[in-house]
Amino acid sequence: MADNGRQALMLVRRLKPDVVIMDIAMPELNGIDATRQIVAEVPDVKVVALSMHSEKQFVEGMLRAGVAGYLLKESAFEELIKAIRIVCAGKKYLSPDVTDIVLRDYLSPTDENDREQTPDLTLREREVLQLVAEGRATKEIAERLNISVKTVESHRKNIMDKLNLHTVAELTKYAVRHGLTSIE
């Protein structure tokens, strides 16, 4: 059991479980970025997203991060057990509601120009952005990430430049819209 994404990552590194049940909305390091790091560092671990978020950006973010399964918190306990068995057998699992979201997106092609173009942020920039959006002070971010205050300020400036945003409020809106953090 982890209170935040950073702690989940540390526990996975230490315990190397077969399956991790991951929420998306977690403080300090969201479930998408935590999953991305877990899959990269401990590739044998199967991650199953269990979330209340059924919006496209969250589902897509977790799938791109490498989850083996995705189900909604409203799912029955039996469905969670089924999902765990399926991913342990080396297959993928999506709950029916999530499957509908994925298929709807796949079957309704969008013009590339209609898609919101989002610049690639580094993992560290995404971490800083999430912590800024959560209302953390620069000094606190520096301490949590074991970097200097100047480095945090540099990351924030780079993020603002890449996203063409100018205030913390704009950064926060961006982070919520793109699933880096939630309003909870």
Q: Can you give the pLDDT at residue 109?
A: 60
Q: Which two tokens stand for residue 149?
A: 């205050």
Residue 42: per-residue pLDDT? 94
Helices (H), the chain: 5-15, 31-41, 56-65, 77-88, 96-107, 123-133, 138-145, 149-163, 168-177
Four-way CATH pick for 123-177: 1.10.10.10, 3.30.70.260, 3.20.20.80, 3.40.50.300: 1.10.10.10
pLDDT at 115 exceeding the cut of 50? no
Structure tokens at 22: 């991951």
Predicted local confidence at residue 32, as pLDDT: 92
CATH no., domain 5-107: 3.40.50.2300
The angle formed by the CA atoms of residues 149, 150 and 151, to the nearest 5 degrees, is 90
In angstroms, the CA 103 to CA 94 distance is 11
Q: Which residue has the tokens 């999430």?
A: 130
Neighbours of 4 (CB within 10 A): 15
Map out the domains of the chain as residue ranges.
Answer: 5-107, 123-177
Can you tell me the mean pLDDT for 94-117?
Answer: 68
Q: Tell me, what DSSP letter sits at residue 117?
A: P
Query: pTM of this prediction?
Result: 0.70
The DSSP bridge partners found for residue 110 are none
Terminal CA-CA length for the chain: 19
What would the pLDDT profile of 154-182 be if each residue is shown by its tens digit? Answer: 999 999 999 999 988 889 888 888 877 77
Question: Quick one: pLDDT at residue 184?
Answer: 61
Q: Note the maximum CA span of the chain.
A: 49
